[in-house]
Amino acid sequence: MQRDGHIRILPIHVANKIAAGEVVERPASVVKELLENAIDAGATRIDVTVTAGGRNLVEVRDNGCGMTRDDALLSLERQATSKIRDVDDIERIDTLGFRGEAVPSIASVSRFILKTRRAADESGTELTVIGGSIQEVREAGLPPGTTIEVRDLFFNVPARRKFLRAYQTEQAHIRTIFTIHALAHPNIGMSLTSDGREVTRLPPDATLEERVRDLFGPDFCADLRAVNGTSFGIRVHGFVSLPHQLRNDRSEQYIFINGRPATAPVIAYALKEAYPPLAAERKPIVLLFIEMPPEGVDVNVHPTKREVRFHKPAEVREAIIRAIRSALQGVESSRPTSEPAPTQTPETSSSSVLTTASPKQASQAPAPLTPLPPTSSFAYPVRLPNVPVGTGLPLFPSRATATNASPTDESLPSSFPSYQPTEPSAPWQWCHVLGLLESGYALLETEEGFVTLDPKAVRERVLFEQLMANHEKDDTYSQRLLLPETVQLPPADAARLTKHLSVLQEMGFAVDLFGDSDHFVIESLPSILGDISCRELLANIAHDLESAGVRRGTDKWREEIIAKAACRVMVGQTRTPTIPELEKFVAALVKTRMPYTCPRGRPTMIFTSTRELDRKFGK
């Protein structure tokens, strides 16, 4: 490459190829851009066809508004768009596309055919473009809508083409893009055909629940909770998984902002804060829709619009946390289920978050996903006396019997006391302890399978919430250090800490500035902290108070301190509990706000459904 130091304007075909490098990374990028244009055109039906992982062909056909001949030609020009008119429109964008770069960028690196017709016109227009150069423009008889064929992608940019992955890899990326947009717009009927085989066909006018079931199957929904909350004029709705249903990465986290697949750093932070500590930094399943006025979000901060920026991120963060915590605690909503909801009576109303369908229901055809109301009744039969551990119980009460029974009912022995908690977070409608394994784990039968419990994790959760309740009633108490400790923090951390000194003092820290503005002296700490690095602790607390907000940051560190105390109490507790003790733990567990994990994020229980057992045994 020769360089003479002179500045010159690039030829248009070179500029288009450079722009294509930003917009068109791979065949899936073409699918994304064309799907967005079809959705913006008001289509109610979109059909996507690809061959060879999109290398040879990507075709997107829609029944949207279509274009005139002049508009079709203008669509091939850079920065030509129907979606914004002046600079003020950029502040309130409510469409998926708006820059006018996608079509010319795609046409510059492919053999491109555009066919379009408006419903009011007698005929349509067909354009043929090769490598960005228009070859033919003709009138054609076409159905209303637009069809775009992209063949031989990167045929004129061999360096880009050779970096494409195997067909299967590129096809997987295309399916991901298709799935994301199908989730975002369940009202639109969509299909995907690959190498002559129809991969997916989705009906129009579907609810979000139906679209989730059609895309992922009914089993995917087994541990999801419906989310629906509004704060600060921001609506957050969708579905999230319970804390024991996790993934190793964010591949099953789908975030939509005003219908646009996108994310922002504040959303990842809010998701982390909304959940209790999760083991090994694993990630929950999330299908979350955030709806807010267009002027509250800036979508013009990333070349491919993958990331957005909020004008009031603190309000968005708080709205997400409130909505998800409300769903996980079962205050206002519950999970979707792939089975018909039972008739809601005092005897059967429940939000059994592990599963809800009875064996009889499981054999019926699935109905649309229906959120169930919160739990209103619960029965917990205790183990019969004189039954050897591990042999099970001679009496297995039905759901209705267990729920309606009282200690004096003649239908049950008097040793079956009945519990009627109203906690909406209860993991089951009824259960009884089968016994303890030699490994120390416990087995419980529930209405839909069995649960394996870790008694130690259960006790940590129960103790943690008891300590939290006690702390909310009493004042924070501190423990004076034998010798005051002086720490120096980096300037940014020191500034944060100085700003929030009064908050730390309310949390039980006796900390103040010492001479230089970057030095602090600590005379006492919350008594249950134990031996911990003051420097690391104060820096982390200051960061969280700044990023999470004072109230959220304070709550987080209060919970962290008490969680350490609960876990410390359990250190060295190796004695296996007796059956009566275990029964008390289980009864206390269902009354906690988050029964699925211990304070450190490890699961307290693992559920195995009857449906899963039937599959494994080939029934």
**Could you read off the pLDDT of 389-399 as tens digits, one per residue?**
333 332 323 33
| β partners of residue 433 | 444
Angle CA(151)–CA(25)–CA(289) in degrees, nearest 5?
110
Tens of pLDDT, residue by residue over 336-376, are 433 333 333 333 332 222 222 333 333 333 333 333 333 32
Q: How far is residue 453's CA from residue 577's CA, in Å, rounded to a whole number?
A: 12
3-state secondary structure of 119: coil
pLDDT at 489: 76
Residue type for 48, please? Answer: V
Average pLDDT, the chain: 75
Phi, psi of 606 (to 5 degrees): -130, 125
Asked if residues 278 and 247 have their Cβ atoms less than 8 Å apart, the reply is no
**Mean per-residue pLDDT, 169-174:** 91
Lookup result for tokens 């850079």: 78
Class of domain 376-454+574-616: alpha beta
Residue 560 has pLDDT above 80, yes or no: no
Instruction: Take residue 401 and report the two structure tokens written for it.
Output: 């019997």
Q: How far is residue 249's CA from residue 286's CA, in Å, rounded to a whole number?
A: 12
Class of domain 462-570: alpha beta
Out of 113-127, 229-243, 342-356, 535-549, which region has the weakest mean confidence (pLDDT)?
Answer: 342-356
Asked if residues 141 and 126 have their Cβ atoms less than 8 Å apart, the reply is no
Residues 6+ apart with CB under 8 A from 276: 243, 594, 597, 599, 601
Residue 403 has pLDDT above 50, yes or no: no
Q: Report residue 480's pLDDT band, with 50, 70 and 90 as the boundaries.
A: confident
pLDDT at 150: 97
pLDDT at 303: 60
Give the start-to-end residue ranges of the domains of the chain: 12-202, 210-328, 376-454+574-616, 462-570
Percent of the chain residues topping a pLDDT of 90: 30
Q: How far is residue 501's CA from residue 490's CA, in Å, rounded to a whole number?
A: 16
| β partners of residue 231 | 234
Cα–Cα nearest to 34, from 172, 161, 183, 145? 145
Strands 516-526 and 510-514: antiparallel
**Mean per-residue pLDDT, 470-490:** 72
Asked if residues 162 and 179 have their Cβ atoms less than 8 Å apart, the reply is no
Diameter of the chain measured on Cα atoms: 100
| β partners of residue 449 | 446, 609
Instruction: Take residue 298 and report the two structure tokens written for it.
Output: 């800036």
Q: How far is residue 491's CA from residue 390's CA, in Å, rounded to a whole number?
A: 60
Q: How far is residue 453's CA from residue 450's CA, in Å, rounded to a whole number?
A: 10
Residue 324 has pLDDT above 90, yes or no: yes
Q: Report residue 405's pLDDT band, with 50, 70 and 90 as the boundaries.
A: very low
3-state secondary structure of 289: strand
Question: Other CB atoms closer than 10 Å to residue 346's CB: what's the count?
Answer: 9
pLDDT at 80: 55
pLDDT at 367: 35
What fold is seen in the domain 12-202? Heat Shock Protein 90 (3.30.565)
Residue 153 has pLDDT above 60, yes or no: yes
Lookup result for tokens 């360089």: 3
Asked if residues 57 and 142 have their Cβ atoms less than 8 Å apart, the reply is no
Tens of pLDDT, residue by residue over 68-83, are 999 899 888 876 555 4
Asked if residues 556 and 275 have their Cβ atoms less than 8 Å apart, the reply is no
Cα–Cα nearest to 577, from 447, 383, 425, 427? 383
Asked if residues 558 and 471 have their Cβ atoms less than 8 Å apart, the reply is yes
pLDDT at 20: 59
Phi-psi region of 42 (alpha: psi -120 to 50; beta: other; left: phi over 0): left
**Mean per-residue pLDDT, 174-178:** 93
pLDDT at 565: 53
Q: How far is residue 237's CA from residue 250's CA, in Å, rounded to a whole number?
A: 19
| β partners of residue 520 | 487, 513
Residues 6+ apart with CB under 8 A from 264: 257, 307, 308, 309, 310, 313, 316
- Crossing angle (nearest 10°) for helices 550-570 and 534-548: 140
Strands 286-291 and 253-257: parallel
Asked if residues 200 and 191 have their Cβ atoms less than 8 Å apart, the reply is yes
**Mean per-residue pLDDT, 211-229:** 86
pLDDT at 19: 59
Cα–Cα nearest to 222, from 375, 358, 364, 354? 354
What CATH code is assigned to 210-328?
3.30.230.10
Q: Which of 214-223, 377-386, 559-568 has the highest mean pLDDT?
A: 214-223
The alpha carbon dihedral of 77, 81, 87, 90 has a sign of negative
Q: How far is residue 352's CA from residue 607's CA, in Å, rounded to a whole number?
A: 12
Q: Any idea of the CA torsion for 47, 49, 54, 58, to the nearest 10 degrees?
A: -70
